[in-house]
Chain A
């Protein structure tokens, strides 16, 4: 989505009304916009980056989301797909002890973040 302040500056440049001060004001406004953190939880079948995503959830714009119901519609099928889309891993799944503790869930979970500046009002 085009940044509205940038579009404003482009329009002002085109019509000849852009000044140095207006440009500096626009840049200052952009710098002061709050940075929002988005979180992406990817549950995988192993702790390898290339393992298949078997579940997901997401936190963005202040809300949790389960993602699309059908796996084919999920935004990423592997962790590496999300990395290519500029997500950063902030939590790696931990290696589990092989000592037998019965049949229990092993949390192969990658947590990724993306930081974006919010749009101006």
Chain B
């Protein structure tokens, strides 16, 4: 029997700013530490002892879980910002449950049917730790920026320079862009580690309806990745970041670049002033007509 689709209330307000959304576009994930109450974490952990399979979707019928986790007041502000109003709640739940020690790491991968390019954000994959997760508990590792890059043959990577381990206290949630490269890491501690994951879905067209910074200008913002995605990729990464940000603003069709010293430039390491997007388009028209 399929689960009915539940849509979040339209009154939920976004809490991310332009800068926060841009940072999400650059990194592909954000970690919210310790936002679920301790009592809820304990109830969830006890529930998962009784429902210890890979897909404990019965958890979606528990009102405390819906209220304190899925519609957590801090979490929904982020979800609303990234997916727009009336986002849909998950229809199933998965648990990456690790009992005892687990030798070795999982292979790096991008989840099935990921579309990293052209970038878009029709849904978010969210992970929740109901218990403390230290390095010894086998946290998921992610590589910031890789949500924008189509992967092929990455399973054999070992440790990577820009990897981030999602170590976090109980009650932490991390929101990811679905295509982000990630893997399981070795678990040397004995206690059971639950890692619940689910998907929120977009139901409206994207628009720049999060909290606007008065001084933020999408045409001159810094789109490069601060963590310096050093793995090889075919196009300048700031192009992909800008494409995703423009998509989220509902301006995907406005994105264009003529390459070279055109927008979106990396402004921090160039001697040339960043060229405004509209100015760049005018210049491009001039060059074409002169040609």
By a beta-carbon cutoff of 8 Å, the part of chain A in contact with chain B is: 41, 43-46, 52-58, 64-69, 71, 74, 93, 96, 100-108
Using A54-B161, A55-B159, A55-B161 as known contacts, say yes or no to A46 and B233 having CB atoms under 8 A apart.
no
User: Looking at the complex, which one of B149, B158, B160, B234 makes contact with A65 (CB distance below 8 Å)?
Assistant: B158
Q: A-facing mask of B90-128, CB < 8 A → 1, else 0? A: 000000000000000100000000001111000000000
Shortest CB distance A68–B (Å) = 7
Check A57–B157 contact: CB distance below 8 A: yes
Q: Are A106 and B117 in contact (CB under 8 A)?
A: no
Instruction: Answer whether residue B150 sits at the interface, using C-beta atoms and an 8 A cutoff.
Output: yes
**CB distance A104 to B161 under 8 Å?**
no
Contacts of B239 in A (CB 8 A): 103
- B231 interface residue, CB < 8 Å from A? yes
B235 CB contact (under 8 Å) in A53, A67, A103: A103
**Contact with A105, one of B119, B156, B233 (Cβ below 8 angstroms):** B233
What's the nearest-Cβ distance from chain A to residue B231, in Å?
A: 6
Determine how close the nearest CB of chain A comes to the CB of B161; give it in whole angstroms. Answer: 4
Bound CA–CA A108/B153 (angstroms): 12
Per the 8 Å Cβ criterion, residues 151-205 of B in contact with A are 151-154, 156-162
Q: In the complex, what residues of A have CB within 8 A of residue B119's CB?
A: 103
User: Can you show 17 pairs from A to B with CB atoms below 8 A apart?
Assistant: A44-B232, A56-B158, A57-B158, A65-B158, A66-B159, A67-B158, A69-B159, A100-B234, A100-B235, A103-B148, A103-B240, A104-B117, A105-B149, A105-B231, A105-B232, A107-B152, A107-B153
